[in-house]
Amino acid sequence: LSVSDDVPAEDIIAAFADSATIGLALTGSYARGEATPWSSDIGILRFIQVQPSDEEGLYSLSMLDGKLWSLNTTTIAVKEASSSRPQDAIWTVPALRQTRIILDRTGELGALKQKADDFRWEVLQDPADRHASYISMD
């Protein structure tokens, strides 16, 4: 598996996976196969067991081998919870559907992606209606 012709998955794992990492996924234009030499960054979603409490632990940018990398760190539980809230699911579900899994040590990331792939928006219709009603009242 490679991100592109010049970025093998092994390099991503070596750069971004440590003993706390349970999974890594490629996001954005590289995950969709739409990357060009002018793409802004290579997006990596890193999953760990405990959500970082500091901003730097949640998101970082770095230059490696002349490429800009964005690293978002989260947990499976955080993504599952945001998939159940209409105001978050609208962003979370499509993003999970487009990811390309690079590393899945526990199988949890594959299961999360499968849940996103199987997700049906009708399930959130009632909560979405309530949320829309609430925010329209302001």
Residue 71 CB coordination number (10 Å)? 20
Residue 22 and residue 15: Cα distance in Å, rounded? 14
pTM of the model: 0.84
pLDDT in tens, the chain (138 residues): 556 666 778 888 988 999 999 999 999 888 888 887 776 788 999 999 999 988 888 999 988 878 889 999 999 999 999 999 888 888 999 999 999 999 999 999 999 999 999 998 887 777 667 766 777 775
Residue 46 and residue 43: Cα distance in Å, rounded? 10
Residue 73 and residue 44: Cα distance in Å, rounded? 8
Residue pair 48/78 in contact (Cβ under 8 Å)? The answer is: no
